[in-house]
Amino acid sequence: MGGRYWVWLAARLAIGIAIIAWALSYVGSGNGEKEFRTTIDAMRQVRSFRVTMTAGQTQAQHQDLLWEVDCNRDILHFKRHLVDPSRDPAVDFQQDQLLVAGTEYDRQADGSWARPTGYGAPSSAKGYCNALKQGVDSHVLPEIYTMLDRGVLQKGSKKTVNGVRCREWQVTLKGATAGFEHDTVCIGIEDHLPYELTTDWNNSRVVFGLQQCDCV
């Protein structure tokens, strides 16, 4: 009888410790799972957006990209500027493209638009917008779904991005590619949309700015 009592007591203690550990982990993460699910729902309502990205190991060697998307009119404006003086010859590449309902145009030196002869745009407005509506990653906006699925979420401090108050969340991604294991995403306090994402990559800093806009 005494032996069974101690087995029963040990089992109850083990269950209690497990419950406390679970509760502490939930509180410690700042209820990140709930916040990120709210963000996915908020992103489903976005009908136009602008994303800017800057990546570079040094000030001289860098890449700047811009996406402007209007879901209602099926328009994507994409720009890229790549500078790499370390190559021979030095690289200074610029790309400025517009996709309207799947038809692609390149900006010419005189400012006009013509059908493309070189690199194509990375996707289409319809592709990005469908991903938003479905609540899946678009691979241009912060990958909230992947962060929720494979990330360890830690609540951070508040800051202001593009005039919007947002809260930073530190994300450690399990099984991520080297250089992309640690992200920080800033999510709007009021609208729950992501406004900035920073991540380390080849000793560089990549920054995305996101906002709802009539920007195309």
CATH code of the domain covering residue 142: 2.50.20.20
Are both 70 and 107 inside the same structural domain? yes
Instruction: Answer whether 98's CB lies under 8 Å from 90's CB.
Output: no
Is 60 exceeded by the pLDDT of residue 17?
no
139 plus 175 within the same structural domain: yes
**Which alpha helices (DSSP H) does the chain contain, by range?**
2-28, 32-43, 125-134, 144-150
Question: How many domains in the chain?
Answer: 2
Q: Same domain for 35 and 9?
A: no
Does 92 lie in the same domain as 16? no
Instruction: Give tens-digit pLDDT for 95-133.
Output: 999 999 989 999 998 999 999 876 666 678 999 999 999
User: Domain containing 184: what range?
Assistant: 31-212
Counting other chains too, the contacts that 122-127 makes at CB distance below 8 Å and 24 or more residues apart are 122/78, 123/76, 124/74, 124/76, 124/99, 125/69, 125/70, 125/71, 125/73, 125/74, 125/75, 125/76, 125/99, 126/74, 126/102
- Predicted TM-score (pTM) of this structure: 0.75
* Same-domain pairing of 40 and 107: yes
Q: In the chain, pLDDT over 70 holds for what percent of residues?
A: 74
